[in-house]
Structure 1
Amino acid sequence: METENIHLNRENLADAMEVVRVLIEKGEISSNNSLYEKYMDRYVKEIVDTMGEQWGFEVVKSENRKKIYFSAAYDNILWGYTNERLRSKLKVKNNEELYCHLFALLCMIAQFFTESLDYDLTYLKVEEWEQYVTDKAKAIEETSSAEEDSDDLEIRFSEAAKYWLELPDIKERAVAHQQTDARVGILIRLARVLQEEQLLKLEDNRHIYLTDKFESLLKNHFGMAGRKEEIIGYIRNIDDMEGINSA
């Protein structure tokens, strides 16, 4: 009982509420902010984490330990993105188009990270990203087991691949005129949305650099617990699956 009183005293509760408020408003708190140290207090952290369990969010520490980030559960209506809200954010019309964007994002992650979540690239060229997505989409279309595997991973990869391959393959004009119905245009639009969320830096519409926030959320977000390695491995090994099935 005494421990509970310590955990829930007025000062600790007020500090926890302020930490959550700022995280919701700004998405992150740096180590040079006094609230960072307050969150590091074991009792304040326990209150914040309990609030997160009840309200569907998590506080994630950066890989370099210099920031904490607000991370909402994917399907949390209050803080996260439902399919409808994701479609609105990405300006897509239906789930098929949304799955295509998510597939492109997973391909980008698979290029940056190994299955053990170690960095494999320093930066990614948009043209290499486009080629990688195209190669994987073609492999999926030629793989008879793609539908079964995609259902297990909760992403309709076969639908995403079909949608992607039907898009016009226009390079320079799509970038110059922001033509979002072309393959590279969709990648640029997706990258800009991620840049707005401070998850990556898009340089001259050609080079992508991931931020510490992206890496931290990828490695620590509870919403992908037990799934990250599986999904990255699936994307990376699609070509091998094609060879096995055609043998």
Structure 2
Amino acid sequence: MADLSVFPITQRWPAQHPDRLQLYSLNTPNGVKVSIMLEETGLPYEPHLVDITKDESWTPEFLSLNPNGKIPAIIDPDGPGAKPLALFESGAILVYLAEKTGRLIPADAAGRYETLQWVMFQMGGMGPIFGQVGYFNKFAGKAIEDKRPLERYVAESKRVLGVIDRRLEGRDWIMGDQYTIADIAMLGWVRNLIGFYEARDLVGFDELRNVPAWLERGLARPAVKRGLEIPKRP
């Protein structure tokens, strides 16, 4: 059994099952990427709630695992070479888990790289832009009298959604018939944009041809339903 005591984060969030993959997260759009992936693959794991509303991701213990202070992060006791592996960044974790299990990513090189490009699209475009819409539409930014920032991010969100909508024309999933980590990367963010961020009408979500049905298909998956609640918010 792997000795996880060498990782300082286990002092604050002790591993009850050190033989299982350890997940440090909260069910935010980035956090649920990993919990959904773990539920989809069936890998045994132990979730630890990191309450970002209490700045727990900025504690020395968490920073020892992710110096960027963001959830999610993992420790896999059975990493490459049968040695423990600590990993942060949700996109990197998705790729790692896909390659570890051989699931939810195409086996052929061309399909693999095409899938990765859409994961990067979510990380570099969708996530940051949708997050800004949330800030300026629902949170502290809502009080700013100048509405140009909100208008800018709403317009860019519409553009990003349009890219996905066109990609999904004639396809059930981003990669066609195969549900992949590209879908997992995006589902939580689109759900958050129109739900928690209250921007459904702002971005014209119901005017899209394909994204609403794709989101419905994704949210109907049992593993997605479970993953969206892990770890539960306090």
Q: TM-score range by the shorter chain?
A: 0.3 to 0.5
TM-score by length of 1: 0.34
> Which structure is richer in relative contact order (CA contacts within 8 A, separation 6 or more)?
2
Q: Which structure shows the higher helix fraction? A: 1
Question: Considering only CA atoms, is the larger Rg found in Structure 1 or Structure 2?
Answer: 1
After TM superposition, the score normalised by the length of structure 2 is 0.35
